[in-house]
Amino acid sequence: MAERPLYRTIAEVLASRVETGIYGPGEPLPPEPLLQREFEVSRMTIRLALNQLKKRGLLFSRSGKGTLVRSGALGARSMKVTGSISELTYYAAETGYLPVGRHKIASAEEVAVGLSIEPGRQVVQFLGIRTNDEAQPIAYEEVYVPYELAGEIDNRELRGGTIFASIERTNGLSITEVRQTISAVIPPADVLRRLDGPDCCLKSTRIYLERGGRPVELAITFYNPGRFKYTTVLFAD
């Protein structure tokens, strides 16, 4: 099988950032030299990646402004909401956790894009179910961590803790940012069975970044909408 061109992987990473609202409509992407340093590639590779996204209608160039996100490029509306990472720790402490599995696997494309790694690179997959006070399933979690960072982390010992806290503790690093996207989806049949809920559910995709911007965890969570409610409070500027 031919190796996938690096510029296509970079294009998918940038497209994911557009789709999750990290780069909003009308906003410029970082200058090419900054993208070069982030991905450690040549300027030509960055330009090939950007051209891919221009052809897909996600980006456009404007003289003196650089490369910008095209308004209306996405089928879904998005918005940015800020919060605290401590809210995730509180959620973990207030819910039960049933471990389902821990596996070393080759990263699929969605995982590779989320972690900014090459497809096929080894990651550790943690599977588990969050429950409410009545031991009913609230959410089904799929967490992916680069193999070299997973170490001896065991989700059977999580209890009220989190994978990202274990990553910080075992690797001596600090997670300073979490990027989250929430959408309504029809989940795979095995997830529906575990959630014991309706056919449609909420899907949360979180990317945890350490200081410096490197992704160290990708968490994909499917929520039972009958047992989970997501509330956001917005204030005037």
In Å, what is the CA distance from 51 to each residue of 18, 24, 55, 75, 145? 15, 18, 6, 20, 30
Pick the more confident residue, 228 or 215: 215
* Domain of residue 22, CATH code: 1.10.10.10
Q: Which residue, 142, 150, 100, is CA-closest to 121?
A: 150
Pick the more confident residue, 27 or 236: 27
Q: Which residue, 86, 46, 81, is CA-closest to 67?
A: 46
Residues 34 and 92 in one domain: no
Question: What residues form DSSP beta bridges with 67?
Answer: 61
Quick check: is 197 in a domain?
yes
For residue 76, pLDDT beyond 80? no
Tally of domains in the chain: 2
Pick the more confident residue, 59 or 231: 59
Domain boundary among 42, 69, 96: 69
Pick the more confident residue, 84 or 145: 145
146: its two tokens: 């680069």
The helix (run of H) or strand (run of E) holding residue 16 is helix 6-19
* pLDDT tens for each residue of 128-173: 999 988 889 999 999 999 999 998 899 887 777 789 999 999 999 9
* pLDDT tens for each residue of 25-73: 888 898 999 899 888 899 999 999 999 898 888 899 888 888 998 876 5
- Cα gap 71→87, rounded to integer Å: 32
Which pLDDT score is estimated for 1?
A: 41
Residues 56 and 105 in one domain: no
Which pLDDT score is estimated for 62?
A: 86
- Three-state DSSP at 208 gives strand
Residue 227 near residue 202, CB atoms below 8 Å: no
**Orientation angle between helical segments 43-55 and 32-39, nearest 10 degrees:** 110
For residue 230, pLDDT beyond 80? no
- Three-state DSSP at 50 gives helix
For residue 2, pLDDT beyond 60? no
